[in-house]
Amino acid sequence: MKWYYCLVHNRVEPEKGCANSERLGPYESEEQASHAFEIARKRNEEWDAGENEWGTKGEQVDLGDDVD
């Protein structure tokens, strides 16, 4: 049984439900699917915080990796 987290309805759905493009997954369990959304949301929050950090550190981006 595969589970998805639906971004339209903000809930876990079984395989039969909304279009996969509207959902996160598939996941092996209903519980995993619900956690997946929490992880994705957390990641977005970290991204937002990261962008602020980038804004202040933008001039210190290290491009040295390409130099060989």
11 contacts 1 by C-beta, under 8 angstroms:
no
Residues within the interface to Zn ion (CB under 5 A):
6, 8-9, 18
At its nearest, how many Å lie between Zn ion and the CB of residue 30? 14
Closest CA to 9 of 25, 17, 45: 17
Q: Which is nearer to Zn ion, 16 or 57 (CB)?
A: 16
At its nearest, how many Å lie between Zn ion and the CB of residue 11? 7
Q: Which is nearer to Zn ion, 9 or 45 (CB)?
A: 9
- Which residues are within 8 A (CB) of 37 and not within 5 positions of it... i.e. 6 or more apart? 5, 10, 24
Q: Which is nearer to Zn ion, 22 or 35 (CB)?
A: 22
